[in-house]
């Protein structure tokens, strides 16, 4: 197997007595788009800053294209970076900002101009060359920051929450643009975000981080549908958690609110009488019995929220509440609060959280 | 509402009178050199005096060197403290305030003892050395103003992120300071430079005790021996000060917009 393009090996970072990153390992293939997803303080930005060279790991090493860059200064790494706060140089025009890295390496004037024009074309702002950063909107500034980062053709592109300071609509359009530019240039990219939708929508793989460690690394599909830990299951997407008691470990049956559910092959190591946390995504649940769904639970509708195309229904089952969405159908009135209801699902969709 | 306006105008008029009456009186007195009529004789005498030209030229040159020295010391120091050593800021602020507390005469006597012709660093043994010592002394006197001006300028930009953005694009420290940091604090540096200029032009104690042909001792000498010329000199000094302020205003229009309008 070929060596990975970027390899972060057993990296640890401590500030005094506080360890913010602990034994972090990740291999990234060339051209891959990997997101670090996690709550504030999970260490995702610290890992990114260690890759950039702004922080030195307390232990471990970082290898790019087979070369150990752990002790290299940021200006020796040939890495591009986009910051949350744009960080455009306020005294320089857009063209000068984009050409900054090229000028630093001593590229001839004509080549700089050509590359700047090419970059402005890629980010679709060709008319902005002579503007100053203060004359641009947040989205435009971040596009310029992206152009500036990729202009010197870096080996690796680091994006540190680049969309956090933008409004919702611009965030969506810019994230799609970032992904499209990344694919077009084939540049290996690490993207830090705390927004799961962002990470799920644009990444090849996601590293979900918590407490300075990578809880799970996988494709968005794997992360969402097969979360490896309770934290990943809770952090990524909406999750309904139900308490269940193991009744027959050999047969794989669990009792939830006096109803038996078969979870064959998912109860590894559980004993009879053990209490388990069982999780279901809202989209895996249907209201009423549905063909192809092998399990069901009974309860009472506690809340109904009309959201236009979708109706969000909460059903009380024992001491728990299960949330599910149904499509709005003009011919069918929405369920009423207080009605008895049955929810159905496939037992294969039920996750056992360890 | 009307009463409020009246009091506001009254306070303004009193303030303006406090400022302008002595100024007008000085102008008026400076023009009474010729008996029975107003004239610019005092100004002609002052401007035609070779000592005025020599001492003023000397002080302007000393001010330019002081500004250069101040910028070279203060900009990197204030930048580094903001970037890497924020915990040292209170200590550095205290040190930069010391020239306001310690009288110039104490500093200059210290210099004379430390850098006399018999000391290991005999600055005072030569004219050039003494001039250099005077510039160093002036830079010390201007430190509180220069440091505060630059520090305030640095506060208007995100020093850390801009530095990191430049670093990741391959820039070294020299490029970062000259192409990113300095242009963005230029207005602040100019303010500090103007204050330094004002201090140096009128400074008496250090120049006098180091026996330098500066403008301050000349002003004192004229003031002690003439009647109308000191008033004319005061007005000329005032005009120079206002000229400097106007120059700062004009220069600020050409400075990077961001320094005035940070993101």
> Tell me: the pLDDT tens digits for A154-190?
999 999 998 888 888 888 888 888 899 899 889 999 9
The range of the structural domain enclosing residue B142 comes to 50-260
**Cβ pair B256:A52 closer than 8 A:** no
* CATH number of the domain residue B166 falls in: 1.10.3720.10
Tens of pLDDT, residue by residue over A14-64, are 998 889 999 999 999 999 999 999 998 899 999 999 999 999 999 999 999
* Chain A touched by B160 (CB under 8 Å): no
- Give chain A positions within 8 Å (CB) of B165: 81, 83, 87-89, 145, 148
Residue A315 has pLDDT above 90, yes or no: yes
Domains of chain A: 6-235 (3.40.50.300), 240-353 (2.40.50.100)
Q: Which residue of A has its CA nearest to B261?
A: A134
Beta strands A205-210 and A33-37 are: parallel
Stretch A102-121: mean pLDDT: 93
* Chain B touched by A52 (CB under 8 Å): yes
B169 → closest Cβ in A85, A91, A101? A101
Mean pLDDT of chain A: 89
* pLDDT in the model for residue A348: 85
Tens of pLDDT, residue by residue over A319-331, are 888 999 888 888 8
Q: How many domains does chain B have?
A: 1
In-domain check, residue B232: yes
In-domain check, residue B176: yes
In-domain check, residue B223: yes
In-domain check, residue B11: no
Give how far A219 is from chain B: nearest CA, Å.
29
DSSP string, A132-183: -GGGS-HHHHHHHHHHHHHTT--SEEEEESTTTTS-HHHHHHHHHHHHHHHH
Comparison of pLDDT for A296 and B18, the residue scoring more:
B18
In-domain check, residue B2: no
Residue A1 has pLDDT above 60, yes or no: no
Do A205 and A34 meet the contact criterion of CB atoms below 8 Å apart?
yes
Strand partners for A207: A36, A217
- Give chain B positions within 8 Å (CB) of A149: 168-169
B256 → closest Cβ in A73, A91, A100? A91
Tens of pLDDT, residue by residue over B221-244, are 888 888 888 899 889 888 887 887
Give how far B179 is from chain A: nearest CA, Å.
9
A89 → closest Cβ in B164, B172, B180? B180
In-domain check, residue B203: yes
In-domain check, residue B4: no
* pLDDT in the model for residue A310: 87
Tens of pLDDT, residue by residue over B117-175, are 788 888 888 889 999 999 999 999 999 999 999 998 899 889 999 999 999 999 999 99
* Chain A touched by B174 (CB under 8 Å): no
Stretch B76-105: mean pLDDT: 92
* pLDDT in the model for residue A289: 83
Residue A317 has pLDDT above 80, yes or no: yes
Give dist(CA A219, CA A223) in Å, integer. Answer: 6
- Give chain B positions within 8 Å (CB) of A87: 158, 161-162, 164-165
Give dist(CA A117, CA A126) in Å, integer. Answer: 7
Nearest to A189 by CA among A35, A344, A16: A35
**Cβ pair B164:A81 closer than 8 A:** yes
In-domain check, residue B12: no
**CB within 8 Å of chain B, chain A residues 70-99:** 73-75, 77-81, 83, 85-91
Give dist(CA A57, CA A68) in Å, integer. Answer: 13
* Chain A touched by B154 (CB under 8 Å): no
Does the model's ipTM exceed the 0.90 cut? no
């Amino acid at each position: 197997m070929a060596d990975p393009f970027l390899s972060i090996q057993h990296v640890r970072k401590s500030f005094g007595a506080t360890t913010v990153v602990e034994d972090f390992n990740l291999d990234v293939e060339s051209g891959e788009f990997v997101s670090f997803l996690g709550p504030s303080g999970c260490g995702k930005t610290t890992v990114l800053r260690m890759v950039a060279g702004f922080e030195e790991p307390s232990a471990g090493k970082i290898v790019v294209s087979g070369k150990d860059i752990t002790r290299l200064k940021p200006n020796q790494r040939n890495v591009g970076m986009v910051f949350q706060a744009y960080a455009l140089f306020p005294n320089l025009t857009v063209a000068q900002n984009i050409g900054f890295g090229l000028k630093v390496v001593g590229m001839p004037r004509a080549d700089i101009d050509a590359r700047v024009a090419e970059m402005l074309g890629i980010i679709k702002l060709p008319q902005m060359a002579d503007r100053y950063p203060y004359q641009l909107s947040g989205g435009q500034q971040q596009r310029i920051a992206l152009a500036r980062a990729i202009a010197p053709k870096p080996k690796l592109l680091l994006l540190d929450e680049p969309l956090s300071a933008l409004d919702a609509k611009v965030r969506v359009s810019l994230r799609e643009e970032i992904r499209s530019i990344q694919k077009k240039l084939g540049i290996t990219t690490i993207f830090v975000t705390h927004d799961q939708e962002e990470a799920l929508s644009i990444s090849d793989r996601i590293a979900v981080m918590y407490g300075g460690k990578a809880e799970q690394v996988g494709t968005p599909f794997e992360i969402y549908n097969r979360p490896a830990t309770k934290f990943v299951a809770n952090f990524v997407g909406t999750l309904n958690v139900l308490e269940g008691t193991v009744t027959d470990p050999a047969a794989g049956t669990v009792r939830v609110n006096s109803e038996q559910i078969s979870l064959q092959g998912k109860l590894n190591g559980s004993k009879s009488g053990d209490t388990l946390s069982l999780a279901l995504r809202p989209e895996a649940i249907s209201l009423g019995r549905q063909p192809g769904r092998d399990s069901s639970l009974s309860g009472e509708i506690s809340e109904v929220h009309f959201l236009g195309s979708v109706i969000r229904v909460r059903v009380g089952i024992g001491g728990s509440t299960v949330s599910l969405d149904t499509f709005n159908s003009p011919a069918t009135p929405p369920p009423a609060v207080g009605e008895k209801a049955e929810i159905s699902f496939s037992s294969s969709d039920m996750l056992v959280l360890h | 509402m009307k009463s409020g306006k009246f009091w506001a105008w009254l306070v303004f008029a009193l303030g303006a009178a406090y400022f302008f009456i002595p100024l007008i009186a000085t102008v008026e007195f400076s023009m009474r050199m010729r008996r029975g009529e107003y004239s610019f004789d005092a100004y002609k005498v002052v401007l035609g005096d070779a000592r005025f030209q020599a001492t003023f030229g000397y002080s302007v040159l000393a001010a330019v060197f002081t500004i250069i020295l101040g910028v070279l010391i203060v900009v990197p120091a204030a930048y580094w403290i903001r970037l890497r050593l924020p915990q040292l800021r209170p200590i550095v602020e205290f040190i930069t305030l010391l020239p306001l507390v310690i009288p110039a005469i104490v500093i200059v006597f210290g210099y004379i003892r430390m850098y006399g012709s018999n000391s290991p660093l005999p600055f005072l043994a030569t004219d050039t050395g003494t001039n250099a010592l005077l510039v160093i002394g002036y830079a010390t006197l201007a430190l509180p103003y220069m440091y505060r001006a630059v520090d305030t300028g640095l506060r208007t930009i995100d020093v850390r992120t801009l530095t990191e953005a430049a670093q990741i694009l391959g820039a070294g420290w020299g490029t970062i300071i000259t192409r990113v940091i300095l242009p963005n604090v230029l207005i602040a540096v100019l303010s500090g430079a103007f204050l330094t200029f004002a201090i140096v032009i009128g400074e008496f104690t250090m120049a006098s005790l180091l026996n330098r042909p500066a403008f301050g001792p000349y002003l004192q000498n004229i003031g002690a021996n003439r009647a109308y010329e000191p008033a004319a000199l005061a007005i000329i000094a005032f005009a120079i000060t206002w000229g400097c302020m106007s120059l700062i205003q004009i220069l600020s229009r050409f400075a990077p917009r961001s320094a005035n309008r940070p993101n």
